[in-house]
Structure 1
């Protein structure tokens, strides 16, 4: 798949933002006043900023509102509905903390649930696609939720929980990669199944269906070298988990915590680039590019 910057920014920032909102929602002793304002401002900036960036990948961003009408069949529409509902509920929860100094636990728990449900719906946009075997697994949802909870724990200052989640997320990410590397072959798709001509015998591509790249080739076929992919995987794990754990273990201070968060975000963005760049769409078989 083409690793569009807008989608990478969206999945990286919104996931961390909604993860942060989830942790703020279940906090038994949440911050109040200006401190609460600072935490919620960061969470909303990440969540909303990520959602806005996703619209830049649309051919007609002005039609984005129409997506909300398809919630019965579309995970993209469900994502939008859950995101708006979660942001509204958390907005009321935050307002009570900031302006009234009042903690309303039920609003926080509902908002936290909707925030994580938003992340889940985002993951299902990709996880439900049978045409991309690497994504088509429940592990995709586990991965997205793990990243959201880990980033949220880091940004809300839950150091011990964050370190544990960094290790868990690393294990999930490695497992997702190992499973994904053989997913396309295990699916059994071939040029015969792609063209529907298998009943006639062995099929081979004599020439590409098009003399120049078309939309499908630009969006659904992206080739990244295996050596480069392996290097980027190592870099993403070091930035996402290795360096943050080291920084948080050395000293729990604002500077080290900020560096840990920045490193984590960079690592998540790298893994997200690989998430899209390594995805093998079965349409590539039809074009003889798998």
Structure 2
């Protein structure tokens, strides 16, 4: 699919922001006063900044509020509700730490749960799509959640948690790639099954449906060469997991810790670009692109 910058920014930044909010809600760390203000400011800039970026991919941003009414059937609606709930509750929880030096533990736990829930609902928006076999499996929410929690631990300075969580995130990302590479073939979806003509023999398109491009080709058919994809995977996993692990194991100082966060963020950007660029929508079968 077309790797839109707005969606890549959204899924990367908001995941990191909500991951940090989750750790703050659990009291890891448990700062107060101005230190707490800085932590919450960073978390909100990432989470809210990512959510704002997502609206740039909407055809009609002015209708975004209507999505909240479809929570019974829409993961997008559930995502919005979880996000708003998490931001409101964590704002109240953060106010207690910043202005009163008090940790309201129950609110923190609820806010942490909603923060993780927001990332889960985001992942489920993609996981539910049967038309994209690469996404339609358990590795998608596993990958989203593990990267969110690992990034949150890294930003929160929880080194003892960040090290194993980064390893887990790397394993989840690699598993998503490995299973995804064969997902389209294993789904059994072909032009023969789509037309119902498979029993008559081999089915192939006589000629392309269009002589030029169209909306479907722009949004749902994006082809990246295997050689380039492999290079980007290596870059993504090294920057997202490898370099941060080396830094944390050698010297988890504040300056190097900041470098680890930047490296992790760039790596997640690369991995998330591939997440969209390598997603083979089945509509590509009709255009001879798969």
Tell me which interval the TM-score lies in, with the shorter structure as reference length. over 0.9
Q: Say if 2:1 is the partner of 1:10.
A: no
If the length of structure 2 is used for normalisation, what is the TM-score? 0.98
Alignment of 1:35-54 (within 5 A): 35-54=35-54
Structure 2: how far apart are the matches of 1:217 and 1:196? 23
Q: Is contact 1:195-1:286 (8 Å) kept?
A: no
Structure 2: how far apart are the matches of 1:280 and 1:127? 13
- How many angstroms does 1:200 deviate by? 3.8
Q: Is contact 2:120-2:144 (8 Å) kept?
A: yes
Structure 2: how far apart are the matches of 1:186 and 1:54? 31
Alignment of 1:274-285 (within 5 A): 274-285=274-285
- How many angstroms does 1:238 deviate by? 0.5
- How many angstroms does 1:198 deviate by? 2.6
Partner deviation per Cα, 1:191-250 (whole Å, 9 max, x = no partner): 112333334432211211112111111100000000110110000011001111111222
Tell me, which stretches of 5 or more residues in structure 1 are unaligned? Answer: none
Structure 1: how far apart are the matches of 2:49 and 2:181? 32
Q: Is contact 1:17-1:44 (8 Å) kept?
A: yes
Structure 1: how far apart are the matches of 2:78 and 2:155? 26
Structure 2: how far apart are the matches of 1:152 and 1:56? 25
Partner deviation per Cα, 1:166-213 (whole Å, 9 max, x = no partner): 111111111111111111111111111233333443221121111211
Q: Is contact 2:29-2:156 (8 Å) kept?
A: no
Alignment of 1:228-267 (within 5 A): 228-267=228-267
The size of the alignment, in residue pairs, is 290
Q: Is contact 1:236-1:267 (8 Å) kept?
A: yes
Q: Is contact 2:29-2:157 (8 Å) kept?
A: no
Partner deviation per Cα, 1:134-154 (whole Å, 9 max, x = no partner): 100111111100010000000
Structure 1: how far apart are the matches of 2:278 and 2:28? 41
Tell me, which stretches of 5 or more residues in structure 2 are unaligned? Answer: none
* SS of residue in 2 equivalent to 1:203: coil
Structure 2: how far apart are the matches of 1:289 and 1:180? 17
Alignment of 1:93-112 (within 5 A): 93-112=93-112
* SS of residue in 2 equivalent to 1:72: coil
* SS of residue in 1 equivalent to 2:130: coil
